[in-house]
Amino acid sequence: MRKKIVAGNWKMNTLPAEGVELAKGVVAGRGEVCSCVNFIVCPPFTHLAMVAEALNGSDVALGAQNCAAEAKGAYTGEVAASMIAALGCKYVILGHSERRQYYGETSATLNKKMEQAYANNLTPIYCVGENLEEREAGKHFDVVKAQIEEVVYNLTEEQFKNLVIAYEPVWAIGTGKTATADQAQEIHAYIRKVLADKFGAAAAECPILYGGSCKPSNAAEIFAKEDVDGGLIGGASLKAGDFLAIGKGFAK
Ligand code: 13P
């Protein structure tokens, strides 16, 4: 049985006190959702310590949205994987399309970040996905395949067992335009095949999340698909009620 995961990527939103309130709201309502759903919240770095405290005693896990490619040292403005792990993070989002697009993250950088994550016992949520132009040119399969081969294929079998993949089509992020459940299933199944080509049967255990304008009204249909194991939620994770309602989308 693969893990069911609903992860909230808060991006650069909320002030620290607002983040604490949001986290408390998730904890307060969490009992209304099946305990089989693993909730993760990923606030900005500045909120991690306070949100960790708000989550204390609950089963809602903490993640960061990024980490540095280096372990420590003279890298002004960077935040090391060891630092976020010390604050209680269990997960780290890596390779989000916004990081690739606006901050020039390449596979070479991401390989180093993945190494840092594993060295600090963090589970990476590794993001893949094509942009609109690539989708329209029918290149989406090749794009996600390359994003996986260039980074995930470098993992050991042990590391691969501790990995979450998020498929996020760039054209669906923050646009209100969601991939259809069939489009999601088609590419999730393909991603699982690419993973199986390298890691064999272990690929059947890897959670693959969908991300891109996922909300309470469409989550159930998307999560019902065989190879969709949950969601990486942006905008709708900023309201505790919506975030929890998305978790209720699991019927399987
Ligand atoms: P939205 O849910 O706001 O479209 O964002 C998705 C996303 O990028 C999550 O990482």
Q: Is the CB of 63 under 6 A from ligand 1?
A: no
Distance 11 CA to ligand 1 centre (A): 9
168 is catalytic: yes
Start-to-end Cα distance in the chain: 11
How far apart CA 33 and CA 250 sit, in angstroms, is 9
How far apart CA 115 and CA 152 sit, in angstroms, is 11
Ligand 1 atom at minimum distance from 235 CA: 3
Q: Which helix (H) or strand (E) holds 23?
A: helix 16-29
Task: Write the DSSP symbol of residue 2.
Answer: P
Distance 73 CA to ligand 1 centre (A): 32
Contact between 211 and 236 under an 8 Å Cβ cutoff? The reply is no
Q: Ligand 1 pocket: which of 233, 237, 238, 243 to mutate (most atoms <8 Å of CB)?
A: 233
188 is catalytic: no
Q: Token digits for 17? A: 């006190």
Q: What is the pLDDT of residue 1?
A: 83
Q: Is the CB of 242 under 6 A from ligand 1?
A: no
pTM of the model: 0.98
The helix/strand/coil state of 4 is: strand
Amino acid, res. 244: L
Which tens digit of pLDDT belongs to each residue from 81-136? 999 999 999 999 999 999 999 999 999 999 999 999 999 999 999 999 999 999 99
pLDDT band of 241, cuts 50, 70, 90: very high
Residue 192 neighbours by CB distance under 10 Å = 18
Ligand 1 atom at minimum distance from 236 CA: 2
Which tens digit of pLDDT belongs to each residue from 152-165? 999 999 999 999 99
Which tens digit of pLDDT belongs to each residue from 196-236? 999 999 999 999 999 999 999 999 999 999 999 999 999 99
Ligand 1 atom at minimum distance from 11 CA: 10
Q: What are the backbone dihedrals phi and psi of residue 37, each rounded to the nearest 5 degrees, phi first?
A: -90, 125
**Residue 230 contacts by C-beta under 8 Å, 6 or more apart in sequence?**
3, 4, 5, 6, 7, 37, 38, 207, 209, 210, 223, 250
Q: Is the CB of 130 under 6 A from ligand 1?
A: no
Concatenating the DSSP letter of every residue in 231-246 gives EEESGGGGSHHHHHHH
Which tens digit of pLDDT belongs to each residue from 173-187? 888 888 899 999 999
Q: Is the CB of 246 under 6 A from ligand 1?
A: no
Active-site residue, from 47, 96, 140, 188 = 96
Q: Residue 68: which of 60, 56, 76 has the closest Cα? A: 76
Q: Is the CB of 9 under 6 A from ligand 1?
A: yes
Side-chain half-sphere CA neighbours of 218 within 13 A: 20
